[in-house]
Structure formats: structure tokens, C-alpha cells
Amino acid sequence: MKNRDIQLGITSHRRRTDREGEAADLGRVVKLRDVKFRSQQLEEDEVGGLNDVIHRMVILRWSLMLGGGAIVVIGLAISFWLLSRPDQHSGEKAAAPINNEGMVRIASKFPSPNKDEALDMVKRAISNRDPEKVESLFRLGAATRPEVVDFFKNLEKREGEVDRFDWLSSMDVDGLLIEGVLVVFKGKDKTAERIAFLTPDSSGNWKVDFDAFARSVKPSWSELLGKGADHGRVRVFVGHDDYYNGPFRDEKQWICYGMASPDTEQLLHGYCRVGSPQAEAMEKLFSDGVETSRATLEISRVKDGEPRQFEIVRLMAADWVLADTSGN
């Protein structure tokens, strides 16, 4: 596993833009080359941290905005689990840009913010510490104003001050208008990255989706994995896996997926029954040839399953922004 390369992009493969002159963009996650999850080998690599992966995924990402043609992305010498430290394995591979000819925004209901406007919105949102201004800057979901303020206070302590903001442009997915801004934090030992997903509300006001930025999980990872909660809604990276064991041992009845999060070193296995609506929905994530994708999933434990084995009950979103929290 450690001698294989992965190529990853940061935005949706359903990218839409009507801006003339922009360079073509990478898909949500660029196609991997001859790589499948190898669960038997994962145990050796669980000491890694997926935040390092996100760093590798987005490094040189902004070069797409500055020049056309092919770009270079950092390839990680591990499988999708992406948990090895960057000082252990790294490499570079060229990734061809997507042909953007004829592509338009999903809808033109609201004008999109330009680069300067998008960057300003995100800067104001993540620097805000006034609870009274939270709702004007964020799409809250189930979060409260004090929770949002506390999150950003703690985030600065954990991941450091913001080093830079990089505009990712349009990231439309699931019928939503989405603009993306990469936020890079200095960190104590290494940089850390998060994506600010901007979506318009019903009045056309663009706001940062808080749950997507925070990579919200319910219940928390500690409750889901540490205390063995039965159900969860998780924001993860997902791709095909081949780990069949316990109640999921029959490959003819189950389809296996690997699931990983930047916020936990625990690696998960998700399963859908062959021919089920869940399996059909999951396969659409990979219909364009990508092998790894962001997704928001509802998962549930199955009797006699291993601690990190879950049945995928529902694909909530083909990214980390939920449609039911959007006004478009």
C-alpha cells in the first residue's frame, strides 16, 4: 500500500462556471490510478493523520486559477486511507484539467460572488466573534450562535492563525450553487486546511455553510467510535474497499466502501446491500471515473459487526453541504 500513488482534487467534479477566461478546474476528487483500498494493510498505517492528507490534496490547487493547462498535485504514496505522515511518503504527478467547454452554473437564480467578494465573505465569517452577527454570515444548520463562536475560538487554538485564503470558484453539486474558498491555517507543527462552502439563502445572500466547514458529525466521533453509538451522520471521504468480514463477509450480498475523516485516525468500513437504493446512490459518486469522493452519510451498526463496521443507511449528500440546509 505504501508504494502506490494517489491523486486528489478538492472541488466537486460537477464544477460549473460562467466566468470567461477561467482555467479549467479539477474534479471533486481526481481519479486514482490503479488503487483500491486494502483493509488488511490499513492497520499498519493508522498512525497517520488525515489532516496531512487534506494538505496534500490542496497544495498547488490555486495554480488552476493562475494558469491553464495541466497542474501538478501532490501524490501520496498510500491507499485511500490517506493516513501516512507527509514526511513518510510523498510524490508528484501531473493531473489533466477537466474540459470546461460548454459548462454553465446549475442555475442562475442568484449572481455568484466574484473572487474578492467570496474571499471577503469567508474572512469576515471566520474572524467574527460576535454572536449577533453569526446568522448573517453563516448557514447554521442545527448549530446555535454561541456554538459557532466557540468553535472558531477553539479552532484558532487547535489549528493556529489563518495563513491564507485561496479561491476555488464554483463547486456546484446536488443541484446547489456552491462557491469554495480554501482556508489554510498555520498550525503549531504543520499547516491545516478547511474548505469554506458558500451557498445563497432564499434571498440570494451568500453565506458560509457552518456544518460543512466544521465537518460536523452527529454524534461526535468520540461517541460514535469510543462509546459505540448505534447511529451517526458523518462527513467523510469514501471509496471502494474490499474488506468483507463478520456479518458483511458475503461479497455477493454486500458492497464495501472505505470511509475516512480528517478529524479521526479511526478508519471505517461502510456497506450497502447489492442492488439496494443505497448502493445505487453510492455508485453515482463514482460514475465519472473518480475513485474517492467527499460524502455525507447516515450510518448504522449491525449486530455482531466490528467496532468500525457500519451499514450505510443513506447518502445524505454527494459532498459535505446538505441540500435541506440550502435556500436555493
Q: Which of 271, 250, 251, 246 is nearest to 259 (CA)?
A: 271
pLDDT digits (tens, 9 = 90+) for 156-203: 888 989 999 999 988 878 778 899 999 999 987 788 999 999 999 888
pLDDT over threshold 90, residue 47: no
Which pLDDT belongs to residue 162? 93
Which pLDDT belongs to residue 8? 40
Mean pLDDT (the chain) is 74
Which pLDDT belongs to residue 146? 95
pLDDT digits (tens, 9 = 90+) for 61-113: 433 333 333 333 333 333 333 333 333 333 222 222 333 333 455 555 788 89
Q: What is the mean pLDDT of residues 226-247?
A: 95
Please tell me which of 55-59, 188-192, 224-228 the model is most confident about, judged by mean pLDDT.
Answer: 224-228
Structural domains for the chain: 115-214 (3.10.450), 221-325 (2.40.50)
Question: Alpha-carbon distance 23 to 28, whole Å?
Answer: 16
Model pTM score:
0.69
Which pLDDT belongs to residue 104? 52
pLDDT digits (tens, 9 = 90+) for 134-157: 999 999 988 999 999 999 999 988
Label the pairing between strands 231-240 and 138-139: unpaired
pLDDT digits (tens, 9 = 90+) for 285-297: 998 888 899 999 9
Grid coordinates in use for 304? 455482531
CB atoms within 10 A of CB 19: 12
| DSSP letter string, 31-72 | PPSS----HHHHGGGTTS-HHHHHHHHHTTTTHHHH--S-EE
Grid coordinates in use for 71? 497542474
